[in-house]
Chains A and B, each alone.
Chain A
Amino acid sequence: MISFSQVTKRYPGGLEALRQVSLTIEAGQMVFITGHSGAGKSTLLKLMAALERPSSGSVVVNGQNVAALRPRAVPFLRRNFGLIFQDQKLLFDRTAFDNVMLPLAITGFERREAVRRVRAALDKVGLLAKEKAYPVRLSGGEQQRLAIARAIVHRPAILLADEPTGNLDAAYAAEIGELFRSFNQVGVTVVIATHDETLAARLKPRLIVLKEGRVAQ
Protein backbone atom coordinates (compact mmCIF):
# COMPACT_ATOMS: atom_id res chain seq x y z
CA MET A 1 0.00 0.00 0.00
CA ILE A 2 2.86 2.37 0.89
CA SER A 3 6.39 1.65 -0.17
CA PHE A 4 9.58 3.66 0.10
CA SER A 5 12.64 2.70 -1.87
CA GLN A 6 15.99 4.35 -1.34
CA VAL A 7 14.33 7.55 -0.20
CA THR A 8 16.55 10.45 0.79
CA LYS A 9 15.15 13.78 1.92
CA ARG A 10 17.54 16.69 2.10
CA TYR A 11 16.25 20.07 3.27
CA PRO A 12 17.63 23.35 1.97
CA GLY A 13 20.67 24.08 4.07
CA GLY A 14 21.98 20.53 3.78
CA LEU A 15 20.10 18.81 6.65
CA GLU A 16 19.44 15.22 5.68
CA ALA A 17 16.23 14.13 7.41
CA LEU A 18 16.06 10.71 5.76
CA ARG A 19 18.86 8.64 4.25
CA GLN A 20 18.28 5.76 1.88
CA VAL A 21 15.08 4.65 3.59
CA SER A 22 13.35 1.59 2.16
CA LEU A 23 10.21 0.16 3.75
CA THR A 24 6.84 -1.27 2.87
CA ILE A 25 3.58 -0.93 4.75
CA GLU A 26 0.84 -3.38 3.80
CA ALA A 27 -2.86 -2.63 3.74
CA GLY A 28 -4.51 -3.13 7.11
CA GLN A 29 -1.32 -2.86 9.15
CA MET A 30 -0.89 -0.84 12.29
CA VAL A 31 2.57 0.72 12.21
CA PHE A 32 4.35 2.92 14.74
CA ILE A 33 7.27 4.98 13.58
CA THR A 34 9.44 5.79 16.56
CA GLY A 35 12.77 7.37 17.24
CA HIS A 36 14.28 10.44 18.85
CA SER A 37 13.17 13.93 18.00
CA GLY A 38 14.73 14.85 14.69
CA ALA A 39 15.12 11.22 13.63
CA GLY A 40 12.89 11.88 10.60
CA LYS A 41 9.49 10.60 11.81
CA SER A 42 7.50 13.62 10.67
CA THR A 43 9.35 13.79 7.39
CA LEU A 44 8.40 10.21 6.67
CA LEU A 45 4.69 11.00 7.16
CA LYS A 46 4.91 14.18 5.11
CA LEU A 47 6.44 12.28 2.22
CA MET A 48 3.52 9.83 2.25
CA ALA A 49 0.93 12.61 1.96
CA ALA A 50 2.94 14.57 -0.63
CA LEU A 51 3.48 17.42 1.82
CA GLU A 52 7.12 17.03 0.95
CA ARG A 53 8.86 15.58 -2.11
CA PRO A 54 11.80 13.18 -1.77
CA SER A 55 15.20 14.45 -2.89
CA SER A 56 15.86 11.05 -4.38
CA GLY A 57 14.26 7.61 -4.37
CA SER A 58 10.57 6.85 -4.84
CA VAL A 59 7.51 6.90 -2.61
CA VAL A 60 4.64 4.81 -3.95
CA VAL A 61 1.15 5.08 -2.46
CA ASN A 62 -1.65 2.92 -3.90
CA GLY A 63 0.48 2.34 -6.98
CA GLN A 64 1.10 6.06 -7.56
CA ASN A 65 4.61 7.47 -7.44
CA VAL A 66 4.20 10.50 -5.19
CA ALA A 67 7.48 12.06 -6.34
CA ALA A 68 6.30 12.16 -9.94
CA LEU A 69 2.75 13.34 -9.20
CA ARG A 70 1.51 16.42 -11.04
CA PRO A 71 0.42 19.23 -8.69
CA ARG A 72 -3.16 18.84 -9.91
CA ALA A 73 -3.24 15.21 -8.82
CA VAL A 74 -1.95 15.88 -5.30
CA PRO A 75 -5.36 16.74 -3.75
CA PHE A 76 -6.77 13.45 -4.98
CA LEU A 77 -3.86 11.53 -3.50
CA ARG A 78 -4.43 13.26 -0.15
CA ARG A 79 -8.05 12.14 -0.09
CA ASN A 80 -6.78 8.60 0.47
CA PHE A 81 -5.50 9.71 3.85
CA GLY A 82 -6.89 10.84 7.13
CA LEU A 83 -4.30 13.20 8.59
CA ILE A 84 -3.97 13.89 12.30
CA PHE A 85 -1.46 16.40 13.61
CA GLN A 86 -0.05 17.09 17.02
CA ASP A 87 -1.35 20.67 16.78
CA GLN A 88 -4.69 19.40 15.40
CA LYS A 89 -5.04 22.22 12.85
CA LEU A 90 -8.69 22.76 13.72
CA LEU A 91 -10.49 25.84 12.41
CA PHE A 92 -11.51 27.95 15.38
CA ASP A 93 -14.03 30.09 13.52
CA ARG A 94 -16.51 27.24 13.07
CA THR A 95 -18.28 24.64 15.16
CA ALA A 96 -17.14 21.10 15.77
CA PHE A 97 -19.77 19.96 13.28
CA ASP A 98 -18.50 22.29 10.56
CA ASN A 99 -14.89 21.30 11.20
CA VAL A 100 -15.76 17.69 10.56
CA MET A 101 -17.89 18.67 7.54
CA LEU A 102 -14.92 20.24 5.75
CA PRO A 103 -13.47 17.07 4.12
CA LEU A 104 -16.93 16.15 2.81
CA ALA A 105 -17.54 19.65 1.50
CA ILE A 106 -14.24 19.42 -0.32
CA THR A 107 -15.13 16.17 -2.04
CA GLY A 108 -18.58 17.50 -2.95
CA PHE A 109 -20.67 15.11 -0.91
CA GLU A 110 -24.44 15.09 -1.12
CA ARG A 111 -25.79 17.18 1.77
CA ARG A 112 -27.99 14.72 3.64
CA GLU A 113 -25.50 11.86 3.42
CA ALA A 114 -22.75 14.28 4.54
CA VAL A 115 -24.70 15.32 7.63
CA ARG A 116 -25.29 11.67 8.51
CA ARG A 117 -21.58 10.85 8.17
CA VAL A 118 -20.47 13.85 10.21
CA ARG A 119 -22.78 12.78 13.05
CA ALA A 120 -21.50 9.21 12.79
CA ALA A 121 -17.88 10.39 12.99
CA LEU A 122 -18.62 12.66 15.96
CA ASP A 123 -20.45 9.81 17.66
CA LYS A 124 -17.49 7.51 17.09
CA VAL A 125 -15.15 9.87 18.98
CA GLY A 126 -17.79 10.65 21.62
CA LEU A 127 -18.40 14.28 20.71
CA LEU A 128 -21.91 14.06 19.27
CA ALA A 129 -23.28 16.06 22.21
CA LYS A 130 -20.82 18.86 21.46
CA GLU A 131 -21.38 19.23 17.73
CA LYS A 132 -22.39 22.88 18.11
CA ALA A 133 -19.42 23.78 20.33
CA TYR A 134 -16.52 25.82 19.00
CA PRO A 135 -13.08 24.19 19.36
CA VAL A 136 -11.96 26.74 22.00
CA ARG A 137 -14.65 25.38 24.32
CA LEU A 138 -13.23 21.84 24.04
CA SER A 139 -10.52 20.33 26.24
CA GLY A 140 -7.19 19.22 24.76
CA GLY A 141 -8.34 15.60 24.57
CA GLU A 142 -11.63 16.61 22.98
CA GLN A 143 -9.84 18.75 20.42
CA GLN A 144 -7.66 15.81 19.47
CA ARG A 145 -10.72 13.57 19.18
CA LEU A 146 -12.38 16.20 17.02
CA ALA A 147 -9.31 16.19 14.76
CA ILE A 148 -9.64 12.39 14.54
CA ALA A 149 -13.32 12.69 13.63
CA ARG A 150 -12.34 15.07 10.81
CA ALA A 151 -9.66 12.62 9.66
CA ILE A 152 -12.01 9.62 9.44
CA VAL A 153 -15.25 11.23 8.25
CA HIS A 154 -14.51 10.59 4.57
CA ARG A 155 -13.55 6.98 5.42
CA PRO A 156 -9.96 7.00 4.24
CA ALA A 157 -8.03 3.78 3.68
CA ILE A 158 -4.98 5.11 5.51
CA LEU A 159 -4.77 7.07 8.74
CA LEU A 160 -1.58 9.07 9.29
CA ALA A 161 -1.02 10.55 12.75
CA ASP A 162 1.89 12.67 13.86
CA GLU A 163 2.35 12.53 17.67
CA PRO A 164 -1.41 12.23 18.27
CA THR A 165 -0.96 11.86 22.01
CA GLY A 166 1.93 14.30 22.35
CA ASN A 167 0.10 16.89 24.44
CA LEU A 168 -2.28 14.61 26.29
CA ASP A 169 -2.22 13.02 29.71
CA ALA A 170 -2.24 9.24 30.06
CA ALA A 171 -6.01 8.76 30.37
CA TYR A 172 -6.76 10.77 27.22
CA ALA A 173 -3.87 9.06 25.39
CA ALA A 174 -5.36 5.67 26.21
CA GLU A 175 -8.75 6.73 24.80
CA ILE A 176 -7.11 7.87 21.58
CA GLY A 177 -5.16 4.62 21.38
CA GLU A 178 -8.41 2.65 21.61
CA LEU A 179 -9.87 4.70 18.78
CA PHE A 180 -6.91 3.85 16.54
CA ARG A 181 -7.23 0.21 17.42
CA SER A 182 -10.91 0.20 16.48
CA PHE A 183 -10.20 1.80 13.11
CA ASN A 184 -7.47 -0.71 12.43
CA GLN A 185 -9.86 -3.54 13.30
CA VAL A 186 -12.20 -2.51 10.48
CA GLY A 187 -9.34 -2.59 7.99
CA VAL A 188 -7.91 0.91 8.03
CA THR A 189 -4.13 1.10 7.67
CA VAL A 190 -2.84 3.13 10.61
CA VAL A 191 0.56 4.80 10.61
CA ILE A 192 1.50 6.70 13.75
CA ALA A 193 4.68 8.65 14.36
CA THR A 194 5.19 8.76 18.11
CA HIS A 195 7.60 8.26 20.97
CA ASP A 196 4.79 7.31 23.37
CA GLU A 197 6.01 3.93 24.60
CA THR A 198 2.94 3.24 26.73
CA LEU A 199 0.80 3.52 23.64
CA ALA A 200 3.09 1.11 21.77
CA ALA A 201 2.99 -1.36 24.64
CA ARG A 202 -0.82 -1.24 24.63
CA LEU A 203 -1.48 -1.55 20.90
CA LYS A 204 1.40 -3.90 20.01
CA PRO A 205 1.91 -2.48 16.53
CA ARG A 206 4.64 -3.18 14.03
CA LEU A 207 7.52 -0.85 14.99
CA ILE A 208 9.72 1.03 12.56
CA VAL A 209 12.54 2.70 14.47
CA LEU A 210 14.34 5.60 12.84
CA LYS A 211 17.82 6.62 13.91
CA GLU A 212 19.44 9.67 12.35
CA GLY A 213 17.36 9.30 9.23
CA ARG A 214 17.88 5.58 8.72
CA VAL A 215 15.68 2.59 9.52
CA ALA A 216 17.26 0.91 12.55
CA GLN A 217 15.29 -2.31 12.59
Chain B
Amino acid sequence: MKAWLWHQLDSLATTLARFGRAPIVTLLNVGVIGIALALPVGLYVALDNLRGVVRTLASDPQLSVFLALDAGPADAAQIEARLKQHAAVREVRYVPRDQALKELKASTGLADVVDSLPSNPLPDAFVVQPRNAAPEALEQLRDEVSGWPKVTHVQLDAAWARRLEAGLKVARLAVWLLATLFAFALVAVTFNTIRLQILTRREEIEVSKLIGATDFFIRRPFLYFGALQGLAGGIAAWAIIWAGLQLLNHGLADLSRLYATQIALRHLSLDDSVSLLLFSAGLGWFGAWLSVDQHLARIEPR
Protein backbone atom coordinates (compact mmCIF):
# COMPACT_ATOMS: atom_id res chain seq x y z
CA MET B 1 0.00 0.00 0.00
CA LYS B 2 2.78 2.37 0.99
CA ALA B 3 4.78 1.35 -2.06
CA TRP B 4 1.72 1.89 -4.23
CA LEU B 5 1.17 5.35 -2.82
CA TRP B 6 4.82 6.25 -3.22
CA HIS B 7 4.52 5.09 -6.78
CA GLN B 8 1.51 7.31 -7.51
CA LEU B 9 3.26 10.31 -6.00
CA ASP B 10 6.36 9.50 -7.99
CA SER B 11 4.35 9.41 -11.23
CA LEU B 12 2.74 12.69 -10.28
CA ALA B 13 6.10 14.28 -9.56
CA THR B 14 7.48 13.02 -12.87
CA THR B 15 4.46 14.49 -14.63
CA LEU B 16 4.87 17.86 -12.98
CA ALA B 17 8.55 17.79 -13.89
CA ARG B 18 7.54 17.28 -17.53
CA PHE B 19 5.36 20.38 -17.33
CA GLY B 20 8.32 22.25 -15.94
CA ARG B 21 10.69 21.06 -18.64
CA ALA B 22 8.65 22.67 -21.43
CA PRO B 23 7.02 25.67 -19.77
CA ILE B 24 6.16 27.55 -22.97
CA VAL B 25 4.51 24.59 -24.64
CA THR B 26 2.65 23.78 -21.44
CA LEU B 27 1.50 27.37 -21.09
CA LEU B 28 0.27 27.46 -24.69
CA ASN B 29 -1.58 24.17 -24.35
CA VAL B 30 -3.20 25.21 -21.10
CA GLY B 31 -4.09 28.55 -22.72
CA VAL B 32 -5.73 26.90 -25.71
CA ILE B 33 -7.74 24.58 -23.50
CA GLY B 34 -8.62 27.45 -21.17
CA ILE B 35 -9.93 29.63 -23.98
CA ALA B 36 -11.79 26.75 -25.59
CA LEU B 37 -13.54 26.08 -22.29
CA ALA B 38 -14.03 29.76 -21.41
CA LEU B 39 -16.24 30.38 -24.46
CA PRO B 40 -19.10 28.00 -23.63
CA VAL B 41 -18.68 28.44 -19.88
CA GLY B 42 -18.68 32.24 -20.24
CA LEU B 43 -21.88 32.05 -22.25
CA TYR B 44 -23.34 29.81 -19.60
CA VAL B 45 -22.49 32.37 -16.92
CA ALA B 46 -24.00 35.19 -19.00
CA LEU B 47 -27.21 33.24 -19.53
CA ASP B 48 -27.36 32.31 -15.88
CA ASN B 49 -27.16 35.98 -14.89
CA LEU B 50 -29.72 37.02 -17.49
CA ARG B 51 -32.04 34.27 -16.34
CA GLY B 52 -31.82 35.55 -12.78
CA VAL B 53 -32.90 39.02 -13.89
CA VAL B 54 -35.66 37.74 -16.15
CA ARG B 55 -37.00 35.53 -13.41
CA THR B 56 -37.47 38.44 -11.00
CA LEU B 57 -39.21 40.41 -13.72
CA ALA B 58 -41.36 37.57 -14.91
CA SER B 59 -42.39 36.55 -11.43
CA ASP B 60 -44.08 39.92 -10.92
CA PRO B 61 -46.40 40.26 -13.89
CA GLN B 62 -48.89 43.08 -14.30
CA LEU B 63 -51.81 43.82 -16.56
CA SER B 64 -52.40 47.34 -17.80
CA VAL B 65 -56.05 47.96 -18.65
CA PHE B 66 -56.63 50.99 -20.87
CA LEU B 67 -60.07 52.52 -21.13
CA ALA B 68 -61.62 54.24 -24.12
CA LEU B 69 -60.93 57.99 -24.40
CA ASP B 70 -64.64 58.80 -24.08
CA ALA B 71 -65.01 56.84 -20.84
CA GLY B 72 -66.16 59.09 -17.98
CA PRO B 73 -65.48 58.84 -14.24
CA ALA B 74 -68.63 56.73 -13.77
CA ASP B 75 -67.38 54.17 -16.28
CA ALA B 76 -64.01 54.11 -14.58
CA ALA B 77 -65.58 53.56 -11.17
CA GLN B 78 -67.74 50.77 -12.51
CA ILE B 79 -64.76 48.97 -14.07
CA GLU B 80 -62.68 49.46 -10.93
CA ALA B 81 -65.41 47.85 -8.85
CA ARG B 82 -65.72 45.00 -11.33
CA LEU B 83 -61.95 44.38 -11.27
CA LYS B 84 -61.80 44.44 -7.50
CA GLN B 85 -64.53 41.83 -7.26
CA HIS B 86 -62.85 39.56 -9.80
CA ALA B 87 -61.54 36.35 -8.26
CA ALA B 88 -58.30 36.40 -10.26
CA VAL B 89 -57.32 39.93 -9.21
CA ARG B 90 -55.17 40.64 -6.19
CA GLU B 91 -54.75 44.39 -6.39
CA VAL B 92 -55.94 47.26 -8.58
CA ARG B 93 -54.39 50.68 -8.91
CA TYR B 94 -56.24 53.45 -10.76
CA VAL B 95 -54.14 55.76 -12.96
CA PRO B 96 -56.31 58.73 -14.08
CA ARG B 97 -55.44 60.24 -17.47
CA ASP B 98 -54.29 63.58 -15.95
CA GLN B 99 -51.90 61.81 -13.61
CA ALA B 100 -50.59 59.66 -16.46
CA LEU B 101 -49.86 62.80 -18.46
CA LYS B 102 -48.05 64.37 -15.50
CA GLU B 103 -45.94 61.25 -15.07
CA LEU B 104 -45.12 61.23 -18.74
CA LYS B 105 -44.00 64.87 -18.55
CA ALA B 106 -41.89 64.24 -15.48
CA SER B 107 -40.23 61.00 -16.42
CA THR B 108 -39.47 61.27 -20.13
CA GLY B 109 -38.30 64.84 -20.56
CA LEU B 110 -40.92 65.31 -23.22
CA ALA B 111 -42.48 68.24 -21.35
CA ASP B 112 -42.31 70.57 -24.38
CA VAL B 113 -43.99 68.07 -26.64
CA VAL B 114 -46.66 67.27 -24.06
CA ASP B 115 -47.38 70.95 -23.45
CA SER B 116 -47.84 71.57 -27.13
CA LEU B 117 -50.60 69.00 -27.37
CA PRO B 118 -54.08 70.52 -27.72
CA SER B 119 -55.65 67.88 -25.47
CA ASN B 120 -54.60 64.94 -23.28
CA PRO B 121 -54.19 61.94 -25.63
CA LEU B 122 -53.87 59.42 -22.77
CA PRO B 123 -56.74 57.27 -21.57
CA ASP B 124 -57.60 56.33 -17.98
CA ALA B 125 -55.90 53.12 -16.98
CA PHE B 126 -55.74 50.46 -14.29
CA VAL B 127 -52.67 48.53 -13.23
CA VAL B 128 -53.81 45.08 -12.15
CA GLN B 129 -51.79 42.61 -10.02
CA PRO B 130 -53.17 39.14 -10.68
CA ARG B 131 -53.37 36.41 -8.05
CA ASN B 132 -51.95 33.75 -10.33
CA ALA B 133 -48.78 34.50 -12.32
CA ALA B 134 -49.08 31.50 -14.67
CA PRO B 135 -49.10 32.61 -18.34
CA GLU B 136 -52.37 30.80 -19.12
CA ALA B 137 -54.18 32.45 -16.19
CA LEU B 138 -52.84 35.87 -17.26
CA GLU B 139 -53.94 35.39 -20.83
CA GLN B 140 -57.38 34.25 -19.74
CA LEU B 141 -57.77 37.33 -17.55
CA ARG B 142 -56.56 39.57 -20.37
CA ASP B 143 -59.02 38.08 -22.86
CA GLU B 144 -61.88 38.38 -20.40
CA VAL B 145 -61.22 42.02 -19.43
CA SER B 146 -60.67 43.01 -23.07
CA GLY B 147 -64.31 42.09 -23.72
CA TRP B 148 -65.69 44.53 -21.16
CA PRO B 149 -67.41 47.73 -22.37
CA LYS B 150 -65.23 50.88 -22.49
CA VAL B 151 -62.03 48.78 -22.33
CA THR B 152 -59.97 49.26 -25.48
CA HIS B 153 -56.77 47.45 -24.71
CA VAL B 154 -55.26 45.13 -22.10
CA GLN B 155 -51.47 44.90 -22.02
CA LEU B 156 -49.61 41.97 -20.45
CA ASP B 157 -46.54 43.74 -19.09
CA ALA B 158 -44.40 40.70 -18.35
CA ALA B 159 -45.08 39.01 -21.65
CA TRP B 160 -41.71 40.07 -23.07
CA ALA B 161 -39.92 38.69 -20.04
CA ARG B 162 -41.65 35.35 -20.51
CA ARG B 163 -40.77 35.32 -24.18
CA LEU B 164 -37.17 36.10 -23.23
CA GLU B 165 -37.17 33.26 -20.74
CA ALA B 166 -38.33 30.87 -23.44
CA GLY B 167 -35.61 32.27 -25.71
CA LEU B 168 -33.04 31.67 -22.98
CA LYS B 169 -33.97 28.00 -22.92
CA VAL B 170 -33.03 27.78 -26.59
CA ALA B 171 -29.82 29.68 -25.88
CA ARG B 172 -28.99 27.19 -23.14
CA LEU B 173 -29.28 24.40 -25.64
CA ALA B 174 -26.91 26.31 -27.90
CA VAL B 175 -24.45 26.58 -25.01
CA TRP B 176 -24.51 22.82 -24.56
CA LEU B 177 -23.91 22.27 -28.26
CA LEU B 178 -21.00 24.69 -28.13
CA ALA B 179 -19.67 22.99 -25.00
CA THR B 180 -19.74 19.64 -26.79
CA LEU B 181 -17.77 21.06 -29.70
CA PHE B 182 -15.16 22.61 -27.47
CA ALA B 183 -14.94 19.46 -25.38
CA PHE B 184 -13.98 17.79 -28.62
CA ALA B 185 -11.29 20.42 -29.11
CA LEU B 186 -9.93 19.73 -25.63
CA VAL B 187 -9.73 16.00 -26.31
CA ALA B 188 -8.01 16.71 -29.64
CA VAL B 189 -5.42 19.03 -28.07
CA THR B 190 -4.63 16.47 -25.37
CA PHE B 191 -4.50 13.67 -27.91
CA ASN B 192 -1.91 15.52 -29.91
CA THR B 193 0.18 16.61 -26.91
CA ILE B 194 0.36 13.04 -25.69
CA ARG B 195 1.20 11.76 -29.17
CA LEU B 196 4.20 14.11 -29.32
CA GLN B 197 5.25 13.09 -25.82
CA ILE B 198 5.11 9.43 -26.68
CA LEU B 199 7.26 10.07 -29.73
CA THR B 200 9.87 11.98 -27.74
CA ARG B 201 9.85 9.41 -24.93
CA ARG B 202 10.05 6.48 -27.29
CA GLU B 203 13.40 5.33 -25.95
CA GLU B 204 12.24 5.41 -22.36
CA ILE B 205 9.12 3.44 -23.23
CA GLU B 206 11.15 0.89 -25.12
CA VAL B 207 13.63 0.40 -22.28
CA SER B 208 10.82 0.20 -19.74
CA LYS B 209 9.13 -2.51 -21.76
CA LEU B 210 12.45 -4.36 -22.02
CA ILE B 211 12.89 -4.53 -18.30
CA GLY B 212 9.38 -5.69 -17.57
CA ALA B 213 7.15 -2.63 -17.26
CA THR B 214 3.46 -3.39 -17.65
CA ASP B 215 1.39 -1.35 -20.09
CA PHE B 216 -0.39 0.10 -17.07
CA PHE B 217 2.88 1.40 -15.67
CA ILE B 218 3.84 3.01 -18.95
CA ARG B 219 0.43 4.56 -19.48
CA ARG B 220 0.05 6.09 -16.07
CA PRO B 221 2.30 9.16 -16.41
CA PHE B 222 0.67 10.04 -19.75
CA LEU B 223 -2.81 9.72 -18.29
CA TYR B 224 -1.77 11.88 -15.34
CA PHE B 225 -0.34 14.40 -17.73
CA GLY B 226 -3.56 14.55 -19.74
CA ALA B 227 -5.71 14.92 -16.64
CA LEU B 228 -3.46 17.58 -15.10
CA GLN B 229 -3.30 19.54 -18.34
CA GLY B 230 -7.08 19.40 -18.60
CA LEU B 231 -7.42 20.51 -14.99
CA ALA B 232 -5.02 23.41 -15.55
CA GLY B 233 -7.06 24.36 -18.64
CA GLY B 234 -10.23 24.30 -16.54
CA ILE B 235 -8.62 26.56 -13.95
CA ALA B 236 -7.48 28.88 -16.76
CA ALA B 237 -11.04 29.03 -18.12
CA TRP B 238 -12.37 29.82 -14.66
CA ALA B 239 -9.78 32.58 -14.24
CA ILE B 240 -10.53 34.05 -17.68
CA ILE B 241 -14.23 34.31 -16.84
CA TRP B 242 -13.45 35.67 -13.40
CA ALA B 243 -11.28 38.40 -14.91
CA GLY B 244 -13.96 39.19 -17.49
CA LEU B 245 -16.63 39.50 -14.82
CA GLN B 246 -14.39 41.75 -12.73
CA LEU B 247 -14.06 44.12 -15.69
CA LEU B 248 -17.78 44.03 -16.47
CA ASN B 249 -18.79 44.54 -12.86
CA HIS B 250 -16.50 47.53 -12.68
CA GLY B 251 -18.39 49.07 -15.57
CA LEU B 252 -21.73 48.03 -14.16
CA ALA B 253 -20.98 49.75 -10.86
CA ASP B 254 -21.45 53.14 -12.55
CA LEU B 255 -24.64 51.95 -14.20
CA SER B 256 -26.11 50.65 -10.97
CA ARG B 257 -25.28 53.94 -9.23
CA LEU B 258 -27.29 55.73 -11.92
CA TYR B 259 -30.28 53.46 -11.46
CA ALA B 260 -29.85 53.27 -7.68
CA THR B 261 -30.03 49.48 -7.85
CA GLN B 262 -27.60 46.66 -7.22
CA ILE B 263 -26.46 45.17 -10.52
CA ALA B 264 -23.57 42.73 -10.32
CA LEU B 265 -22.78 39.67 -12.41
CA ARG B 266 -22.26 36.47 -10.49
CA HIS B 267 -19.51 33.94 -11.24
CA LEU B 268 -20.08 30.19 -11.41
CA SER B 269 -21.47 28.67 -8.24
CA LEU B 270 -19.20 26.38 -6.22
CA ASP B 271 -20.98 23.32 -7.61
CA ASP B 272 -20.61 24.52 -11.17
CA SER B 273 -16.95 25.43 -10.64
CA VAL B 274 -16.16 21.98 -9.27
CA SER B 275 -18.06 20.42 -12.18
CA LEU B 276 -16.06 22.48 -14.66
CA LEU B 277 -12.75 21.35 -13.15
CA LEU B 278 -13.76 17.70 -12.93
CA PHE B 279 -15.12 17.82 -16.46
CA SER B 280 -11.95 19.35 -17.93
CA ALA B 281 -9.68 16.95 -16.02
CA GLY B 282 -11.83 14.02 -17.13
CA LEU B 283 -11.72 15.08 -20.76
CA GLY B 284 -7.92 15.50 -20.55
CA TRP B 285 -7.66 12.00 -19.15
CA PHE B 286 -9.88 10.68 -21.93
CA GLY B 287 -7.85 12.40 -24.66
CA ALA B 288 -4.63 11.01 -23.18
CA TRP B 289 -6.14 7.56 -22.93
CA LEU B 290 -7.22 7.60 -26.58
CA SER B 291 -3.76 8.76 -27.64
CA VAL B 292 -1.89 6.23 -25.50
CA ASP B 293 -4.16 3.47 -26.74
CA GLN B 294 -3.39 4.45 -30.34
CA HIS B 295 0.32 5.02 -30.13
CA LEU B 296 1.81 2.91 -27.36
CA ALA B 297 1.11 -0.48 -28.89
CA ARG B 298 3.29 0.46 -31.86
CA ILE B 299 6.40 0.77 -29.70
CA GLU B 300 7.82 -2.70 -29.20
CA PRO B 301 11.42 -3.29 -28.17
CA ARG B 302 13.65 -5.05 -30.67
Residues of A whose CB lies within 8 Å of any CB of B are 49, 51, 72, 75-79, 81, 83, 89, 91, 93, 102-103, 105-111, 150
Contacts and interface: CB of A to CB of B under 8 A. Distances in A.
A110 B214 CA distance: 18
A106 B217 contact: yes
A88 to B, nearest CB: 10
A107 B210 contact: no
Nearest to B7: A108
B211 A91 contact: no
Interface in B183-223: 203-204, 206-215, 217
B3 interface: yes
5 closest cross-chain pairs (CB), A and B = A78-B212, A79-B212, A106-B213, A75-B212, A110-B3
A91 B210 contact: no
B214 A75 contact: yes
Contacts, number: 54
Given A78-B212, A111-B3, 13 more contacts: A51-B302, A72-B215, A75-B213, A75-B214, A76-B212, A81-B212, A89-B203, A89-B210, A103-B211, A105-B7, A107-B212, A108-B4, A110-B6
Contacts of A150: 211
Nearest to A49: B210
A49 B212 CA distance: 10
A75 B209 contact: yes
A163 to B, nearest CB: 15
30 contacts: A51-B301, A51-B302, A72-B214, A72-B215, A75-B213, A75-B214, A76-B214, A77-B212, A78-B211, A79-B212, A81-B212, A83-B210, A83-B211, A89-B206, A89-B210, A91-B203, A91-B207, A102-B207, A102-B208, A102-B211, A103-B211, A105-B7, A106-B212, A106-B213, A106-B214, A107-B212, A108-B7, A109-B3, A110-B2, A110-B3
Summarize B's interface: helix, strand, loop or mixed: helix
B254 interface: no
Contacts of A89: 203, 206-207, 210
Most chain B C-beta atoms within 10 Å of own C-beta, residue among A81, A83, A106, A150: A106
A18 to B, nearest CB: 16
Given A51-B301, A91-B203, A91-B204, A108 B3 contact: yes
A153 to B, nearest CB: 10
B301 to A, nearest CB: 6
Contacts of B217: 106
B60 interface: no
Contacts of A107: 212
B203 A111 contact: no
Contacts of A78: 210-212
